[in-house]
Amino acid sequence: MKDMDDPVCPLDYRYGRKELLEIFGEKKRLQYFLDVEAALARAHAKIGNISKIAADEITKKATTKFVKVERVKQIEAETKHDVMAVTRALSEICKGEAGKYIHLGATSYDIVDTANALQFADSTEYIRKELKNLRDTFVNLSKKHKKTIMVGRTHGQHTIPITFGFKMAGYAMEVDRHLERIFECKSRLLVGKLSGAVGTGAALGPTALKLQEEMLKELRLGVETVGTQIVCRDRYNEMLSVLANIVTSMEKFATEIRNLQRDEIREVAEAFETKKQVGSSTMPHKRNPITCEQICGLARVVRGFVIPTYENAIQWHERDLCNSSSERFIIPHSIILTDWIVYQTNIVFKNLKVFPERMKKNLEISKGLPMAESLMTTLIGKGMGRGDAHELMRKISLKAAKENKTLKEVFVQENKKLKFLSDKEVNDALNPGNYLGAAEKIIDIVVKRFER
């Protein structure tokens, strides 16, 4: 038997917020089981199957104040059955005849899957709130850097100018879509069941459907209309898909910071959390984006749970046990890590160091080449055909790069022959601030949407 004071899983000592770790801890998990058993007893009493006195006694004792984790573990060591251990531990401390009505008509996964739904309800609310905080952080950065011009990049190469605020506005909208996804999937995810060994409710008698309705109404959960021995796992597939999508966005955001923090770019940087933080054990000068790298690494772990989750949905007939062991890893790890990743992402961006002067300097590295499109559109506006303007600017750009000259130098030489643009028109076209399109208006739309 492993010594529990010598933890193995990093969730026990390194990753995860206290609130989420508690939700998936042994004590809270036991309380969810007890909540379901108590709701079942009250449903039986409401229909008239058991006395209200018995239901009240079960409800009173269905708490970890009375049912101890240690006692449940003792019983489980003998019975090798987790739910039976809970029901027996609860019945031991119930007075009168109440104990014999515990778990009446139910099968184990009526309790397990319904308890899962209660955990999902509580834990995803933390993720939702932290996503909202992150969205607000991006909106604030979008406002603050509305006019902070930087070079846009595609294929890792300089393109046309954007603003850092524009980039952050895009991130805010992406996070908002994840908030929508969490909201939309909750109606399908937060369901429980009370329908017995194969889903027919046979052991519950003629009032089976009413019992299920009453129990789940008490727990504020939806009903699995046609279940088997378990809640249908397409619901869990959707949850893991949403979580994987969320952490993928977080990895995308973190990867952008890692790229922009490289010494040769250095447009933004992840802040050190403490004055004594060490970047490298051997190189004293290092300031590594370690939180962003942690985000990227842990996001890959969450995505790794997608495959076993989907495979768990393939059950033999009305149920096999293949899902049980893997879900003990999948459910807590994927939710705790997703919450942690979003939380850490928010810390990174709330404390992000932004260097506008370096952005300006990097824009100048390409010697005006990112403004070739601006000159092309200006030429088109003056009457040159689009194809001709594109070909002209392509040749001018290649020549500038080959001769290590600025775009302006080469264009001015060519313009003397063509006499298409005035000096002012050339200078205006080469000014990055004049070629931001609707970036500021788009930022205003985003800000207005979330500051109502």
C-alpha separations of 42 from 15, 46, 54, 255, 329 in Å:
38, 6, 9, 51, 32
Catalytic site includes residue 317? no
Q: How many CB atoms lie within 10 A of CB 7?
A: 12
Catalytic site includes residue 155? yes
Which of 91, 123, 249, 280 is an active site residue? 280
Tokens of 15: 């990753």
The helix or strand, by DSSP H or E, that contains position 404, with its residue range, turns out to be none
Q: CA–CA separation, 45 vs 174, rounded Å?
A: 48
335 closest CA partner among 64, 125, 94:
125
C-alpha separations of 228 from 155, 166, 207, 285 in Å:
50, 49, 18, 60
- At residue 105, the 3 state secondary structure works out as coil
C-alpha separations of 433 from 148, 198, 211, 378, 428 in Å:
9, 67, 67, 15, 9
DSSP string, 333-358: HHHHHHHHHHHHHHHHHHT-EE-HHH
- At residue 226, the 3 state secondary structure works out as coil
Which of 155, 281, 285, 317 is an active site residue? 155
- At residue 253, the 3 state secondary structure works out as helix
In sequence order, which ranges of 62-163 are alpha helices (DSSP H)? 69-79, 82-92, 108-144
Q: CA–CA separation, 315 vs 147, rounded Å?
A: 55
- At residue 13, the 3 state secondary structure works out as coil
DSSP strand pairing (157-163 vs 191-192): unpaired
The answer to whether 262 touches 355, Cβ cutoff 8 Å, is no
Which position has the token pair 């973190």? 254
Q: CA–CA separation, 407 vs 103, rounded Å?
A: 79
CA–chain centroid gap for 48, Å, is 44
Which positions are annotated as active-site residues? 155, 280
